[in-house]
Amino acid sequence: MSVQERTYIMVKPDGVQRGIVGDIISRFEKRGFKLTALKLVHATPAHLEEHYADLKGKAFFPGLIKYMASGPVVAMVWTGLDAVKTGRVMLGATNPLASAPGTIRGDYALAVGRNICHGSDAVESAEKEIKLWFPEGVVQYTNDNEKWVF
């Protein structure tokens, strides 16, 4: 458990084009996480293949890369207590068929191939993904309210 744990959250091209970016940011803000990096980026297939390197060889891999390269994504780093695990809970199950209502996917998605958002699945993968998407580093700052909110 670390108050300073970081996770990499990404709004996928379908989330950007459907206008859900603001709601996703709002959910993380309201939950109590601190925004420490944010950018809109149209990623290259090579960059996405590196991000999804673990999935190379899966039947859906080429389609996944094509989908992810079809338009800009919103890349973000959120910092706070148990950011990785809580971030995954907020996203909901990978397949929207199983995503609980109240989660991002459970509220907005129907198909696993168009599931709106990505969230790191472990602290180590979060750090790897943050380096890949933000080689320039993230922003360091202190919120005044950090004395009474995580």
The answer to whether 88 is annotated as binding is yes
User: Which residues does residue 75 pair with via DSSP β-bridges, in sequence order?
Assistant: 10, 39
Residues noted as catalytic: 118
Nearer to ligand RTP, 112 or 138 (CB): 112
| Cα distance between residue 43 and residue 40, in whole Å | 9
Partner residues linked to 41 by β-bridges: 73
CB atoms within 10 A of CB 99: 22
- Rule CB under 6 A: which residues touch ligand RTP? 55, 60, 64, 94, 112-113, 115, 118-119, 121
Question: Annotated binding residue at 18?
Answer: no
* Smallest separation, CB 48 to ligand RTP (Å): 11
114 annotated as a binding-site residue: no
Q: Does the annotation list 94 as a binding residue?
A: yes
Nearer to ligand RTP, 40 or 122 (CB): 122
Tell the smallest beta-carbon distance from residue 148 to ligand RTP (Å): 32
Do 77 and 130 meet the contact criterion of CB atoms below 8 Å apart? yes
Give the nearest distance from C-beta 137 to ligand RTP in angstroms. Answer: 23
Mark 23-47 as b/e (b = at least 16 C-beta within 10 Å). Answer: ebbeebeeeebbbbbbeeeebeeeb
Look at residues 79, 52, 67, 54 and name the one whose alpha carbon lies nearest to residue 116.
Answer: 67
User: Which residue number places its CB atom closest to ligand RTP?
Assistant: 94
Detail the residues annotated as belonging to a binding site: 12, 60, 88, 94, 105, 115
Detail the residues annotated as belonging to a binding site for ATP: 12, 60, 88, 94, 105, 115
